[in-house]
Amino acid sequence: MSDAVKMNQAISNYLKQILGGTVADSHILALGMMITGLIRSRSSNFDQIGRKSGWRGKSKFQSRVKLIHRFNKNKNVSYEKHFLPFIEVVMVSLGLKEYRLSIDSSKVGRNCTILVIGLVYKKRVIPLAWMIYKGSKGHSSAERQMRLYQQVLELLPQEAKVILTGDAEFDNVDSLSMLQSKPNWDFSLRTAKNIKLSFANAKDSEQYSLEELAPTLQEEKFLTAVYFTGQKVGPVNIAILWDKAKQEHFYLVTSAETLAQTQKWYKRRFSIETLFSDTKSRGFGLHKSGINEPKRLARFVIAVFLAYIWMIYLGSLVILDRHLSLITRTDRFVSSIVQLGFAYLDRILEEGWNIPVSLKLPNPTSFVHSVLV
């Protein structure tokens, strides 16, 4: 039996465990083909996926590609039916009490943008919810953002502590008001230098731009109990930080109580950049997909994200199984947990071992991995 067929069978068996009886068998077949093909081809091109899909039998090549096309066109394929059950497995397995979330958008497919909110995990981000639409990166509406927040709220335990990070795309009044209404939610979001602030007991006319309140060059400042924009959302805190590389200040609106805490939270924002690079240039070429219809692309992303999370699982497994020396140097970590997953899968196939397929991720505190590059 070829490596491709072994992979396909192992993946499909796991998909059946989770989805069996809730979706059509043809959907499980197509999803198994796509995940196998994505990982083996490192491409989002349907022809490449079909060739590497591991679909056993004498099926014609074009039949494989048609099955993939049908899956992505099928209106019965959805986040709720085909992805949410797996995320529920992930969330239960992690057993977290504090959820560090990051939100961002990126260009995907042909003239489409994906808006994603995900869980920071070992300097990577596990996608929890997303939407795809026609439009430019950095211009998602407050309405779209609120829909994603609502999806995530339904995933998390009511008592869960949440810390959200994001760039200046997400500092709108609606989002901030929602975040402040959740007592267990904290946030650190970038904002613009021309945003107006006011102080308690100040006259309505007494408003200042963040740029006006900035300290001298190279110095930093923390403002507490201020009101954000002319709509006076708050009270919130503001961190004014110095960017050494750009030699200018940048600004964060936050619920953190200190400058140091704000910085610590905001650093996690950059983990979501790895989600995009791991599924695009370093992973599955999602940016090169020829799909230009948002709903079809959203269905395809189900397979991409499941393949990505499986690689995170294998990357954690190779560390926990103490097999790291079989695939990479051990004096320091030079590969991300996703790249470790790809490498471990190669070794598993090379040795003819059973292929472990699961999305039950270990608690991040149960093992050490700190990638250097």
Specify the pLDDT at position 351: 94
Asked if residues 93 and 263 have their Cβ atoms less than 8 Å apart, the reply is: no
Q: Which residues contact 231 (CB under 8 A, 6 or more apart)?
A: 173
Distances in whole angstroms, Cα of residue 281 to Cα of each of 61, 144, 274: 26, 26, 10
Q: Tell the burial category of 216 from Cβ atoms under 10 Å away from its Cβ (0-12, 13-18, 19+).
A: exposed
DSSP string for 6-27: HHHHHHHHHHHHHHBTTB-HHH
Please report the pLDDT score of residue 270 as a whole number.
87
In the chain the first and final C-alpha atoms are separated, in Å, by: 37
Show the CA angle centred on residue 130, arms to residues 128 and 135, nearest 5°.
160
Report the pLDDT value the prediction gives residue 58, as an integer from 0 to 100.
Answer: 60
pLDDT at 141: 87
pLDDT at position 370, please? 61
What's the confidence (pLDDT) of residue 57? 67
Residue 164: closest CA among 154, 178, 173? 178
pTM of the model: 0.93
* Predicted pLDDT of residue 36: 97
The residues that bridge with 125 in the sheet, in sequence order, are 120
Res 373: pLDDT:
39
What is the structure's pLDDT at 371? Answer: 56
Task: Please state the domain extents for the chain.
Answer: 1-77
What pLDDT score was predicted for residue 372? 44
Report the alpha-carbon distance of residue 163 to residue 283 in Å, rounded.
28
> Tokens representing 140?
């998602």
- State the pairing for strand pair 112-121/185-191: unpaired
List, for the chain, all residue ranges whose pLDDT scores fall below the cut of 50.
372-373
Nearest partner of 345 among 89, 68, 53, 10, judged by Cα = 10
